[in-house]
């Protein structure tokens, strides 16, 4: 099932590197508008949000569309980790506030070598 949006957390990558990767995948350059630590753009019809150091050294990338090249957060995180050569985290499945806090701190961490591990990550 395709997720309504994609959110991943990227460590040790710049917005420029992420932008180049997305531009290659989406076939269009991303022209960011920055306000503080948050940058926004629309690339190939997909609204993107980059939140620098959203959680410690981890940057958030949000793709606000169900029409991305990836069906879910995990697929996007795997592609980002492989292309950018950094660790990427994402929720293990679609999570909404109505789901409660029981599994809110369980995340997948994908390494550049494609290994995946479940980590407990307190983001708040």
For 98, which DSSP code?
G
Question: What whole-number distance in Å separates Cα of residue 38 and Cα of residue 54?
Answer: 9
pLDDT at site 98: 62
pLDDT number for residue 97 = 61
10 Å CB burial of residue 118 (0-12, 13-18, 19+) is: exposed
pLDDT of the residue at 81: 97
At 82 the pLDDT is 97
Instruction: Note the pLDDT of residue 95.
Output: 56
pLDDT in tens, the chain (124 residues): 678 899 999 999 999 999 999 999 999 998 999 999 999 999 999 999 999 999 999 999 999 999 999 999 999 999 999 999 999 999 987 655 665 565 667 899 999 999 999 998 877 6
Beta-bridge partner residues of 25? none
What pLDDT is stored for residue 61 in this prediction? Answer: 98
Where exactly are the structural domains of the chain?
Answer: 6-120
- Say whether 8 sits in a helix, a strand or coil: strand
Q: Which residues contact 44 (CB under 8 A, 6 or more apart)?
A: 26, 27, 28
- Output the CA torsion sign for 20, 85, 77, 49: negative
Q: Given strand 106-110, what is the order of strands in its sheet?
A: 33-35, 38-43, 46-55, 58-63, 6-11, 88-90, 106-110, 116-120
For residue 93, the model assigns a pLDDT of 73
């Amino acid at each position: 099932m395709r997720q309504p949006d994609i959110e991943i957390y990227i460590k040790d990558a710049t917005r420029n590197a992420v932008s180049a990767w997305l531009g290659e995948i989406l076939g269009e350059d991303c022209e960011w508008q920055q306000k503080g630590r948050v940058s926004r753009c629309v690339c190939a019809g997909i609204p993107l949000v980059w939140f620098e150091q959203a959680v410690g050294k981890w940057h958030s990338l949000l793709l606000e569309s169900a029409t991305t090249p990836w069906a879910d957060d995990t697929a996007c995180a795997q592609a980002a980790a492989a292309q950018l050569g950094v660790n990427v985290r994402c929720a293990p499945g679609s999570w909404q506030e109505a789901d409660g806090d029981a599994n809110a701190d369980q995340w997948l961490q994908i390494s550049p070598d494609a290994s995946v591990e479940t980590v407990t990550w307190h983001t708040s």
